[in-house]
Structure 1
């Protein structure tokens, strides 16, 4: 049926899972999106990427895509077959998706109008799938290749922020070759950094999310272990000083007339955790305060900074921007997330719901923004 026919419903491929350490978070995010998307308005094709990179047709059952009983869900459990694979079009003149299985004739699954890549971390949120979709000529939700890559790499993200005059906290970068060739020099660099900014320090992978691989280090004795833990997720790591203050988040959403900021949220200190880590976020379901108890001036300031960060990185569609409100009353931007979590407890959809945009409307706005854009250089 032609896309010009009034009865045509755009077909949305929700792509989730992936090869990163955030695989399970992506599965839960997809479950929430599949629950909320308007089935009267859109046809939906769920496609999961296994941890080893196979694209699979999966169950369309959001109830199986949760953190129930502290269990981490996976695409492998949801895949309809352990052998078949989904193949995106490689010719921009067609948007037909094909399912292949050894010994069988390839099955055409029909055309896809837009991809909603709810992938978190490397091999998905970092510009890789965005590049693949650009080559395929298929519109997709969210930022393009460059913005996705910059938004994933905390070093270059901070460099861009600084170039646009956004306030950034102190940090150091440890590149793979530095640690592999001269760990003593790296330790000295970090000790000097701590001497200037104080302990504790946070050691984190430069390109990971959901607080994966992050350690809070109180002194030199815990440094090597923290570096190796971060390097399990990314060979390049970041060292950051402790920013004393309140954790504030703000959502940015692309409307027809440009990006707008949501009401902000606050992440209060969590008990039984050294910081707001993966367990606190997703397993123990620590929740934030929405809206954050800020003054009108503070709210306006953090909303302005969030939109400036969105524009600085040339983002599209959506962003969650994370800040610290320091004891002196100044905001410092910590990072942005170009594909924030959409789980039932995630802050991004909660902030927009409090701003008057329901979860189904949020999904609809993101898909419509993607359909308005064409692929290609941005």
Structure 2
């Protein structure tokens, strides 16, 4: 008798500024996932927040499809939680980058529905999305981070001069100004002097109520190396080889990540040219960062490395953790695992296994006496 296929929902789109990146990731997963092993259901969320199934979900990806089915998130989650319902799912693979997909909100919906899902839970997702909370967790775990200041949009609007003074008291230029809760380098600016700070703060404040201002690693005139590690696992995570990004622009912003092509595009070097000691240190830090934020399934951990100064080792600091990193076939997360011996289709299988493992483990928890 044939084994029943797992019914896997691939959820993509969303209301965040990373909607298009989500569609790219979903296309790659849908092309690579084994239809022999899984019964795949496409689930889309458009920019207005409408949940789509069947043909409309495929149209969101730019593919023609069958008759549209519109649902709310709650109705799809309820169907997922009840296998007797025709659209019942065994597992959801959310490919939602950024706000409302990577920040714990959709994960809370899956928890309510008691359905297995790929990736971190509510806490890990929320911590990994909020750069301020993330840095607090890194600091508590004794992990190295760059000096930074966190300000609220309301503080900036009420008294920008006071905010500028507090930034300049704590940090030295250049600084990076970032929305606390956003990914893909959206809304981030590198600021070399006070004259550019106001525009950078206004831009970041347009994307989030919290603004994180970080001191540039290595100081003025230094361009630190940008290193990345992919982490895979639940309670016993493992780290990939270390990769390096050579940005096409001054830093790895949205345009450098997704919009430049040919001779102008950013370059990835996998594995990065590091000493064995440096590579080992960075991989251990990646796993510790994963655990510090209570992550699960997958994450990409990003580092900055300033050149060694006389008599001192190179400065290596944690930049951030991404709990749902880009997942196109050419994204760093799958490329790092490919270089570590796990192909893209096998990586999808492993993430599904980890989601089911985590869901089974959760069944051991009692929620009432």
Give the Cα separation in 2 of the matches to 1:212 and 1:78.
30
Residue 266 in 1 paired to residue 252 in 2? no
Q: Deviations over 1:321-352 (max 9, x none)?
A: 00012223132100000011011221000000
TM-score using structure 1 length: 0.86
Q: 1:111 aligns with which of 79, 88, 112?
A: 88
Within the alignment, does 1:322 sit opposite 2:310 as a pair? Answer: no
Q: CA deviation at 1:84?
A: 2.3
1:89 CA displacement: 3.5
Query: SS of the residue aligned with 1:160?
Result: helix
Superposed, which structure 2 residues align to 1:1-378 within 5 Å?
Answer: 6-58=2-54, 84-85=70-71, 87-90=75-78, 94-95=82-83, 109-194=86-171, 198-244=172-218, 245-254=224-233, 258-270=236-248, 273-284=249-260, 285-328=265-308, 329-374=314-359
Note the C-alpha offset of 1:111.
1.4
User: Pairwise CA RMSD of aligned residues?
Assistant: 2.4
Name structure 2 gaps, 5 residues minimum: 219-223, 309-313
Q: Aligned pair in 2 of structure 1 residues 80, 213: CA closer, same or farther (>3 Å)?
A: farther
Aligned length: 347
What secondary structure, in the 3-state scheme, does the structure 1 residue paired with 2:161 have?
Answer: helix
Q: What's the offset of the Cα at 1:91?
A: 7.8
Aligned-pair distance for 1:243? Answer: 1.0
Instruction: Kindly state the Cα deviation for residue 319 of structure 1 after the two structures are TM-superposed.
Output: 0.8
- Asked if structure 2 preserves the Cα contact closer than 8 Å seen for 1:21 and 1:233, the reply is no
Deviation, 1:85, is 2.4
**1:49/1:75 contact within 8 Å kept:** no
Local SS of the residue matching 1:323: strand
> What's 1:70 paired with?
none
In 2, the alpha carbon distance for the partners of 1:145 and 1:49 equals: 20
Matched with 1:104 is none
Distance 2:56 2:327 in 1: 17
Q: Secondary structure at the match of 1:43?
A: strand
Distance in 2 (alpha carbons) for counterparts of 1:89 and 1:18: 16
CA distance in 2, matches of 1:210, 1:109: 36
CA offset at residue 38 of structure 1?
1.0
Paired residues of 1:50 and 1:76 also in contact (CA < 8 A): no
Q: Which runs of 4+ in 1 moved over 3 A?
A: 58-62, 74-83, 89-93, 375-378
